[in-house]
Amino acid sequence: MRCFISALTLLLVLGCASSPSPDGTTRTTTILAPSQSDFSQFVSPVLERRCGTLDCHGQVGRPLRLYSARGLRLPNDGGLIPGTGGTTQEEQTANYRAVIGLEPEELTRVMAGVDPPRALLLLKKPLTLEGHKGGPAIAPTNDPVELCLDSWIVGTIDQATCTKAAAFPP
């Protein structure tokens, strides 16, 4: 029996291992991702304002960690601490990577039109379609945050809606 389990384990490992491409290099997986420039300009301010506070996703231990002028700051030489300065480009880039890295395979499926945007944890959790420690953070219908995120994900950024969502609360 031990031999059978060892052989089965070996087959599973080999079946999942990435094999080299014909030219001998390692294969890579292509991940589709929405625009980083639209994210930095329109989406990051929304997430910073709605989700990036020190008591939410502006904490080091969170799986989706967001940096902002009002919350967690990246280590910096400028002496920026929460409540000072603006969100830096490095912080916006870190936010983009955090969002893209949350579910890269599912994001690719959504961008390819296989799944709807609400299939992403980025929307499921704040809509409480899946458990969210912070409770509902997006209204179930016509919330500017969801409309902004949807428009960014599908590549047709709605700048006015994102600007409105970033101004919350008014």
Give the pLDDT score at 128: 94
Q: How far is CA 26 from the centre of its chain?
A: 26
pLDDT in tens, 12-29: 333 444 555 677 777 777
**Is residue 168's pLDDT more than 60?**
yes
Cα separation of 120 and 73, whole Å? 26
- 18 or 152, which is more confident: 152
- 8 or 29, which is more confident: 29
**Is residue 90's pLDDT more than 70?**
yes
Contacts of 125 (CB under 8 A, 6+ apart): 131, 132, 137
Domain map (residue ranges) of the chain: 33-166
**Is residue 170's pLDDT more than 90?**
no
Cα separation of 169 and 157, whole Å? 21
The token duo for 123 is 């929307």
pLDDT in tens, 104-138: 999 999 999 999 999 999 999 999 999 999 899 99
**Is residue 91's pLDDT more than 60?**
yes
What sign does the dihedral 33-37-40-41 (CA atoms) show? Answer: negative
Q: How far is CA 7 from the centre of its chain?
A: 39
Give the pLDDT score at 62: 85
**Residue 125 DSSP code:** T
Q: What is the pTM of this model?
A: 0.81
